[in-house]
Amino acid sequence: MASALVVGNMTGSGVFPLPSPLAEHGPISLIAWGFTATGAMLLALVFARLARACQRTGGPYAYARRTFGDFVGFQTAWGYRIAVWAGNAAIAVASVGYLARFRHALATDRILAAGVGPAAVWSLTAVNAYGVRQAGAVQVVTTVVRLAPPLLVAVGGLFFVKSGNSGEFNAGGGSARRTPVPAAGDHPAGRPGPAGEPGPPAQAA
């Protein structure tokens, strides 16, 4: 359950519609994935070292407070909380975008969408408030549902790869050195915000 909780916190809602906008850049967008994945791994190593050096609960708040004092520690904790609140809005928008693929009224009826988004957030809040064990069980289920389709496509798709379907390496044209830059901006590690900015319903399939 603890592992599922970490995966749930680190996997933003914006990662699922990413293949659609990245495909516009062609195979060169894989370079952007490589850059951002490397950056994410380096960031993870930084936090791993900080956790060994400062064995206190609190995460970034504890590290900042120990190094820079109470004021910076408070600012770090407050900024993190604001990011979490903003992330809830992104989760609500992403939920509506995904569900709109199955119920098209959500894509056209703003009142219905405005009700479904907060309802999704509050339903998960109710599960968390009900109990830690129940929240952990839901987290395990949602983690499996979240990771199974991308892994199935990534692994199973290797058996259907054909060189004739790849198209131009740099489909966007222009300088090859600059093309991965906008593609990296579509990656969750290249975006501001904890959960990424979900695309429109058409891209959220």
* 144-202 residue pLDDT tens: 888 888 788 888 878 887 777 666 777 666 665 655 555 544 444 444 333 333 333 33
Contact 54, 62 (CB under 8 A): yes
Residue 24: the pLDDT is 76
Distance CA 140, CA 20 (A): 27
pTM: 0.61
Domain range for 21: 2-203
Best-predicted range by mean pLDDT (22-26, 60-64, 83-87, 154-158): 60-64
Residue with the two structure tokens 């569900």? 99
Indicate the average pLDDT of the chain: 76
Residues whose CB is less than 8 angstroms from the CB of residue 164 and which lie 6 or more positions away in sequence, other chains included = none
**What's the number of domains the chain is made of?**
1
Residue 205, number of CB atoms within 10 A of its CB: 13
CA–CA distance, 123 with 120 (Å, rounded to integer): 5
